[in-house]
Every structure is written in C-alpha cells, then in structure tokens.
Structure 1
Amino acid sequence: MGVLWPLEPATAAKHRLYQRYLDAWWPILLQTSQRTGYSRSRVTLLDAFAGPGRYEGGEPGSPVFILDRLLHHTAVERMNLSPSRVHLVFIEKDRARHEHLLAELTDRFGKLSDLPVHVEVRRGDAGQDSLPVLTELGAWGHPILGIFDSWGSVNVPLDVMQRIARNPSSEVITTFGPNWFSRREELNAALLDTVFGGRDHWTSAADEARPDERWRAWLSTYRSALRRAGFGYQLQFRLVPRTGQPLYLVFGTGSEAGLKAMKEAMWKVDDRDGESFQDPRTRGAEAIGQLDIFQVAGACDPELLELVSQRLAHGGATVEAIGKWLLTETARWMPTHALRAVRQMRQDGSIVVHSTGKLTNKSWVSLHTGA
C-alpha cells in the first residue's frame, strides 16, 4: 500500500459514526458549567493509527475531520478551548505517511502551534508509544478517548487498554479490518499474547473452523479482553456497507452515558451507503438498518426480536431489565426499544406477560414454552 489509498465504503461509514460520536463527546467534556462555571482541566484524544490525512479521492482522513469538526463545532464558544486544555495526539508509524499527515494538517489549518488546541503529530508505533506520549503530555487523571483504528493487524498490548481503563472518564475504540480474521497458522502468537493477555484467552477463537463464525469468536474474545482490562461496558458490532467488505469494532467505556452516546451516534448516521450495524449474537436476523424501526408502520426489527428472545431464554425478566440488558449487552439497541419489542412479541404469541392490565416497564415477561 502506498502513501494514499482509496476510501472504502465501510471506512466512510465508520468516519460518519466517529463524527457523530465526537460531536456529542466534545461538548460533554469541554463545555463550562453554566451553574458553577467549572470546566474540566484537560481532555485528550489519541488517534493511534492516524494515516496520511487524506485518501486518493481527496476525502479527509480522521485527523483532518476530527480537528476540523472540533474547531467548527456549534458549541465551540462554550468549550473554552486552549492548548493547555485540549490535546489531539496523532501517531503514524510510516515515515512517508507521517510527513504527508503533517503537511496535510498544516496546509489545511496553518501553523499548528497557533491553533486554540494542542496538536501533537508523532511518528511512532501505536502499541509502544501511546502510553509514553500520554504520560509526556500529562494526560493521566483527565478524560482520554483512544482510537485504535488499524485496517490491518490489531497489535496494541492489553496493558495499554488497562492503563486507559483505569483513567477517569476514558474510552477506547478498536477496529478490526476484514482481513484480520485469518487462519491460525498466519497469526503471530506472541503478539496475540500481548493483545489478549495470554495464550489461554485467544486460542479458542483461533481454533474456530467455521469461517462465518470466526469473526464472532474474535470479537467476543476481544470484548472479553476489554472487560478484563477494566472497562465496565463493551460494545461489539459489525459495520456492513452496501458494497465492499465489513469492519468490526469494539468500544470500551466505564459509563452508561458513554454507551448511550455511541448508540445514539449509530442511529444518527445516515444510510446513504446502505450501511448497517449488526450485533454478533444474531445469526439469522437481518437488521432493517439505521432507519428508526418504529417509524415504519408494523415494523419491528428482526435482530431486536431475536436478541430479546435470547435474553429471555435465560429466564424471565421485567421489561425494564430487558431494556438495561439491551443497553449494556447489545450493539445498537437502547432501553426504549424493549417495550416496543415486547409488545410485538406478545402480539405474536412468543412471550407470556405475568401481570394484568397495561404493559409497562414493570411488567414481568417470559418466553412462551408451548406447554
């Protein structure tokens, strides 16, 4: 691969997801409280596989659109931007791409030292250099968003994720490219030991013989790694474009607010390329897409119904508990979807409601056993 390469459809959709998420993330962390006048002292965004800053067709790379959308955010006047408060760190290993990125940012935004935020463009390795750079910049003790977005091999050691997980109000996004789920004999076992925290944690995924199941096994394995690292919540999902190959993402956060913000970003991403976000747990259901499923008369997404059935297969629950499970355990579904799904399932006769009167979040439901 040369310095520049074409923008893949899945990457374009992923970029729209990032943009939507960051549009919400920045003001949450940076806006000064109107009541107290308090604002967080420092926020750091780390893009550890930054790339050259542009694609062959002229489309902006992640460092360019991240900086551009921050500087031109609708809430920028309330964010109190300053180089001491906001750090953007871009790491690129390849020399030519690093030089191209630096030139691209300078051409677009002028002298980087004159910007109202601190922009650090480093040539280095994501796995080896992320922690030292964050330490050098004094990022620890303040919110960090780490984006580990490699199209090829995921090679960031688990101890990097552990350090970020222990840091307050911090999150990570890791991307697996379509070629990552390869045959076991092609894998670097020593590298995977550092990524997953030991041989015992990943060999079962590598041994999965069914190609259609391999990506599910690896995503689940990596999600478990983020859990062990210390992230209380982890989302795993497959981004499927209308054309081209899919991407696989895992998101780690310590807060339900972070989960909600990421899922809201998914639902706001337009579907002009026909992309959808799929949950790895579903094997037969095809998601309708990003169109709000309950704006379509009589439509209830098959993926949602399958997931609720999977939850109820482990025992009955209140609608409220199902909603909490959808939030914390599924790729894109929110608590508000639980009640609508249960209503559809009651109508279909697939569940039993163990209460009289109106169906509410407090209603207890279970699968219909057919007895």
Structure 2
Amino acid sequence: MAVPTGILWERDPHTAAKHTLLRRYMSAWFPIMAKQFREVGITFFDGFAGPGEYENAQDSSPVIAMEQALRSEVTRWGTQTRLVFVEDHHGRADHLQDLLDARYPPSTRPAGLAMSLHRGKCSDLFERAIAEVGGWDGPVFANLDGWGVDTDYAVVQRIAQQRSSEVLITFEDQFFIRFANGEQQAGERVFGHSDWRHVDRLPTAEKKPFLLNLYRKGLHSAGFPYVLTFEMIDEGGHSLHLFFGTTSKVAVQKFKDGLWEVDGVSGQRFRDPRDPNQMSFDILHPDFTPLESRILELLSGRDYSMAELCEDALLETIYKETHVKPVVDQLLLQRKVEQVRTGRSYADRVFRLAAEQLF
C-alpha cells in the first residue's frame, strides 16, 4: 500500500493478519518473560508505533502490547514491564499518547508498568529511549514495522546483543523490488554491508530470493541463531515479508503456534520464500508438498531421525514439528522412504530414501 500521509488510515488485510499474529505471540511472550525475568524486567519496543489505531478503530501494535502487558497473568509477577514507543510523525504520536491515556489512564496502571513515547526517528532514538526506562537491563522484544528502508541494521544488531531479545521486522514486497531495480540508495544502512549490490548481476527471477536470503543471513550474523521468514499474500496478490529473529527454540515454537492459528484472516495466504516452487496456501487448507520435498531432499544426503526432521521443519521451514510425522507416514506408504532403525520413541526412529523399485 502507499505510504499514508494522514494521522489515521484504513487497515489493509496484511495488517489485520499481522496484528492477529502479534497479539497471539504477545499473549505467550509477556507472561513467560515476566515470570522468567522478574529481577531485571522486560521491554516491548515499537520503533514505528503509529497512532495506535486505524480509521475503523481497530487496534494497532502499541495498544496490543499495552493490552497484553496488563493481563493478570503478567502483572501477578510484579515484574518491571516497560513499553517504549517511537513515532516520527508528531500528529500520530500525539494521537497515540491521547489514546493510551484515555483507554489506560496512568493512575490505573500498575506500579511495575512504565510507558514512554518518543517523537522522532527510530534509528536516532531507540538506544536512548530504551535506556531511559532501564530497558537494557533485561530482554527486549522489538517490533520494527516500518514503511520500507526504515529499519537500520544497527538497530537489529543492538537488539541482538541483548540477552534473550527478539525482533519482528516487516517489509513490503515493493521494498525488495525497488532494491532489485537499483532505485534505493540506503542498502548499506539496511543490510549492514554492500553485498546486496550483487543483485544487479542476477536475472530478474533471482533478484528477490537473493535479497530475502541475504537479509535472513544478516539477522543470523547480527546474533540471532534462529530466524523465521515467511510471506503473506492477500487476495490481490500483494506480498508482505516478515522476519522473526530469536535466540530461543521455544520462542520459535510459540511464534509458529501463533502463525498457524491465524486461520486465513482476511483471505491471507502464506508462502515460505525459500520454497523453490513458491507454493502458497491458506492456514485452513495447508499444502504440505514443500515439506515433503524438503524431507526428501534431506534424506537424499543421509539418514535422519524423526527428531532431526522435526527440528529442521521447526527452524528451516514455515511448518511446525507436528506436521512432520503425517508427511513421513505418507511417504512410507508411498514407499518413497523407509525406516531403518526403531527406537524407544517415534522421535528416535531413523529414515532414509527408499531404493528405487520397478514393481
């Protein structure tokens, strides 16, 4: 969508699905982290906070964060919980402040909740804004949902240095298309190096996959060992790319739980950008063909246990661990794979590609 110029704008289908996913993940993140980090506190940081709502009064990320932070499952631990918002548009920042004060009056907020709002650019203010509330003492979840080349790599790097911290970064498809066409001059700022310029030498069909993979590698290099990336596609064919960086396998599981509960919101379809066939599907009617292809590809190299196949699905695909067993069972029935070793549990069983058969 075009970059809005007013204070409020209409929520698009992408945003509806994205905020459903954020709310579901935050419903797990806040209580788990509040219990685990009672001594140092936790911080939710929104670098492009916006006005807090859309034209039809639907909540956006700052309100979702406040709502989740005030749940009894969170406040019962007495953990210092910090909400830090940065917004460059002064009219939207004022609207957000008024909205939060009206819906959650400061006098009614628990003593352990600190909320701050800063007017300015994320890259200029994020470090100081988080420091002012003591946010660097504990883990930070950073929601970086800009309009294009707004998320500096330096911001991602700093968050990654913080223990048990995470990032959720959003890019519209046009962002990568503009980079591929050489129309953006901020590549070093976004990618953290000049390697992205190699895109000029690639065929058109390879440009976007190259940039997506390069950015994913950049999150790994920043310090996030686990990076999920997936693409949401609306009914008009418009794409939105989400990158989730974390240091926790449990966080990956929780995030995927939220993803697979979106239930096809507003006609959204999902796609794994690394799927060579670029198949898309809705959550209600998933297509497991890419997962089947991934498993067969892995087994072409060596034998794998069920536990290893599940971990690969969790960390390297859009699918969940629970999706693996039914796919493997189907491949066994089709005689495409065979079991070569049993174990005390199904996770210990080992599989390999089946030998070719004529009959």
- Normalization by structure 2: what TM-score? 0.88
Moved more, 178-187 or 135-144: 178-187
Secondary structure of the residue aligned to 2:127 is: helix
The alignment-based identity, stated in percent, is: 31
Paired residue type of 1:335: E
Cα distance change on mapping 1:356 and 1:61 into 2, 3 Å: closer
Equivalent position of 2:76 in the other structure: 78
Equivalent position of 2:312 in the other structure: 325
Q: C-alpha separation between the residues in 1 aligned to 2:352 and 2:248?
A: 29
1:238 to 231, 242, 254: 231
Q: C-alpha separation between the residues in 1 aligned to 2:355 and 2:200?
A: 36
Q: C-alpha separation between the residues in 2 aligned to 1:76 and 1:28?
A: 8
1:309 to 296, 302, 327: 296
1:145 to 110, 116, 141: 141
Superposed, 1:193-232 pairs within 5 Å as 193-200=188-195, 202-205=196-199, 207-211=201-205, 213-232=206-225
Deviations 1:207-236 (A, max 9, x none): 54435x544332211110010001111111
Equivalent position of 2:56 in the other structure: 57
Equivalent position of 1:282 in the other structure: 275
Equivalent position of 2:356 in the other structure: 370
**Alpha carbons 2:17, 2:265 under 8 Å: kept:** no
**Alpha carbons 2:229, 2:242 under 8 Å: kept:** yes
Equivalent position of 2:264 in the other structure: 271
Aligned residues: CA RMSD: 2.6
Secondary structure of the residue aligned to 1:59 is: coil
Secondary structure of the residue aligned to 1:361 is: helix
Stretches of structure 1 that go unaligned for 5 or more consecutive residues are: 33-37, 294-299
Report how far residue 130 of structure 1 moved. 1.0
Equivalent position of 1:166 in the other structure: 161
Paired residue type of 2:184: N
Deviations 1:3-37 (A, max 9, x none): 211101011000000000000001101137xxxxx
Equivalent position of 2:90 in the other structure: 95
Cα distance change on mapping 1:20 and 1:357 into 2, 3 Å: closer
* Number of equivalent positions: 350
Equivalent position of 1:296 in the other structure: none
Cα distance change on mapping 1:348 and 1:123 into 2, 3 Å: same
**Alpha carbons 1:4, 1:54 under 8 Å: kept:** yes
Equivalent position of 1:124 in the other structure: 120
Cα distance change on mapping 1:114 and 1:358 into 2, 3 Å: closer
**Alpha carbons 2:271, 2:281 under 8 Å: kept:** no
**Alpha carbons 1:46, 1:147 under 8 Å: kept:** yes
- Normalization by structure 1: what TM-score? 0.85
Paired residue type of 2:309: I
Equivalent position of 1:35 in the other structure: none
Report how far residue 75 of structure 1 moved. 1.7
Q: C-alpha separation between the residues in 1 aligned to 2:181 and 2:285?
A: 43
Q: C-alpha separation between the residues in 2 aligned to 1:121 and 1:370?
A: 63
Q: C-alpha separation between the residues in 2 aligned to 1:237 and 1:14?
A: 11
Q: C-alpha separation between the residues in 2 aligned to 1:356 and 1:140?
A: 48
Equivalent position of 1:258 in the other structure: 251
Q: C-alpha separation between the residues in 2 aligned to 1:168 and 1:68?
A: 25
Cα distance change on mapping 1:357 and 1:170 into 2, 3 Å: closer
Paired residue type of 2:217: S
Equivalent position of 2:326 in the other structure: 340
Superposed, 1:26-45 pairs within 5 Å as 26-31=30-35, 39-45=38-44
